[in-house]
Amino acid sequence: RRRRRGASGHLRGQRVKCRVCRGPAVIDLPRHNANFCPEHFTRFCRDQVERAISDFDMMQPEDRILVAVSGGKDSLAVWDLLLGLGYAADGLYIGLGIGDYSDTSGGYARRFAQQHAEPRGAKLIEIDLVDDYGYDIPGGARAARRTPCSACGLSKRHLFDRAALDGGYDVLVTGHNLDDEAAVLFGNVLRWQTDYLGRQRPVLPARDGFPRKVKPLVRLSERETAAYCIVSGIDYLVDECPMSAGNKHLGYKEALNEIEVRSPGSKADFYFSFLRRAVDRFAPEPAGIDTEPGTGDADRADPGVLAPCARCGSPTSTEVCAFCRLVERAGGSPPDAPPARPVTLGRRGGPDPTGTPSP
Ligand code: Q46
Ligand code: ZN
Ligand code: ZN
């Protein structure tokens, strides 16, 4: 018999016991056939993240970590969980210039940093597209004739990569959760995008000019990261980005949620069985091409030989990289063009035979 659930998954009207301590449960996880009290749910989330890190060899205890922070539940949850596990993890927030949404999301990121990160010795780094580069996402998208999500994804990838390398970080962490990964997989399977399928892994090793990228939340669902924030007292931005309305990614999530309700565990099975049994069957595409959550879009650089961009030094297959071209078309300018130099980051650097897109 299905139990009634509150919006955040908290149980209502029924006395349900925590699987571990038999105390009152606040969340039920049909996929795990378990209910948890706040304390043991927090421990469950931490265990899932630890397991993802160790199963996929994501990072080492001594690594310096940079977390891509948006002010939403996933990025704040992963930052908090990594700090709780003792990692040295700083955050990076990028102001995208998307009206009120950006002002509000920046506020959530800063408040988290002050209340939860700085007391644990971590800091929030900030980049503002308008102040630092002279353009915003809506304007940049119009000027470059890209969709907003395409201009946004390109900007974020470039700036996160760059900040990780310039800051000497070993790993760039993103808050992609199980729902994100399953939805991207679903979209790629629907169109049999074999090049993307071959790269959809939770770890993208470092290689010349690109940092190591990992997704420690792949074992947690969206509902679980939201619940984690609530029980941990983390205030996050609930609103979706106004540019995300109607994108395919959200439709795939809804379709998978329907299936999950009827058959709990389907989403995790779909994604993890793919990683175990299918991903190796699809040939990887060359480095430097990523997709972003919510975009269904890829910055399809020519997969030729990568050389430093003539403007910013980032690896590109064209003379001037896609980011610098976007900035130029949008009428902006980079702060100070750094010297052109390819960079290798992390112990595990070198060519990546099994690259992974960010979803
Ligand atoms: S922030 Fe940027 Fe997303 Fe907004 S414009 Fe699209 S990609 S939806 S994750
Ligand atoms: Zn308990
Ligand atoms: Zn460039």
Interhelix angle 222-231/73-84, rounded to 10 degrees, is 60
CA 123 to chain centre: 19
Give the pLDDT mean for 191-219: 94
User: Which ligand has an atom closest to residue 26 CA?
Assistant: 2
Placement of tokens 């503002």 in the chain: 128
Lowest mean pLDDT among 131-135, 161-165, 231-235, 280-284: 280-284
User: Which ligand has an atom closest to residue 248 CA?
Assistant: 1
Placement of tokens 């922070």 in the chain: 69
Structure tokens at 103: 């002002």
Q: How far is the CA of 354 from the centre of ligand 3 (A)?
A: 25
Report how far residue 293's alpha carbon sits from residue 183's, in angstroms, rounded to the nearest whole number: 9
> Tens of pLDDT along 292-307?
433 333 444 445 688 9
pTM for the structure as a whole: 0.87
Nearest one of 337, 279, 281, 267 to 308, comparing CA atoms: 337
Q: Tell me which residue has its CA closest to atom 7 in ligand 1.
A: 149
Q: Which of 152, 181, 292, 326 to mutate to test the pocket of ligand 1 (most atoms within 8 A of CB)?
A: 152
Q: DSSP characters for 342-358?
A: ----STT-S--TT----
Q: Judge whether residue 191 has pLDDT over 90.
A: yes
Q: How far is the CA of 77 from the centre of ligand 2 (A)?
A: 20
- Residue 262's Cβ-count burial label (10 Å; 0-12, 13-18, 19+) is exposed
Report how far residue 104's alpha carbon sits from residue 132's, in angstroms, rounded to the nearest whole number: 19
The DSSP 8-state label assigned to residue 336 in this structure reads S
Q: Judge whether residue 201 has pLDDT over 70.
A: yes
* pLDDT band at 308; cut points 50, 70, 90: very high
Q: How far is the CA of 39 from the centre of ligand 2 (A)?
A: 6
Q: How far is the CA of 234 from the centre of ligand 2 (A)?
A: 20
The pLDDT of residue 55: 97
Report how far residue 352's alpha carbon sits from residue 288's, in angstroms, rounded to the nearest whole number: 10
Q: Tell me which residue has its CA closest to atom 8 in ligand 1.
A: 244
Report how far residue 3's alpha carbon sits from residue 246's, in angstroms, rounded to the nearest whole number: 31
- Residue 343's Cβ-count burial label (10 Å; 0-12, 13-18, 19+) is buried
Q: Looking at the DSSP assignment, which residues form a beta bridge with residue 203?
A: 214
Q: Within the chain, what is the greatest distance between any pair of CA atoms?
A: 64
Contacts of 230 (CB under 8 A, 6+ apart): 8
User: Which ligand has an atom closest to residue 340 CA?
Assistant: 3
The pLDDT of residue 351: 31
> Tens of pLDDT along 96-107?
999 999 999 999
The pLDDT of residue 206: 94
The pLDDT of residue 298: 40
> Tens of pLDDT along 154-188?
999 999 999 999 999 999 999 999 999 999 999 99
Q: How far is the CA of 38 from the centre of ligand 3 (A)?
A: 46
Radius of gyration of the chain, Cα coordinates, nearest whole angstrom: 20
Contacts of 281 (CB under 8 A, 6+ apart): none
Q: Judge whether residue 345 has pLDDT over 70.
A: no
Structure tokens at 130: 């308008």
Binding-site residues, ligand 1, Cβ < 6 A? 137, 148-149, 152-153, 241, 243-244, 292-295
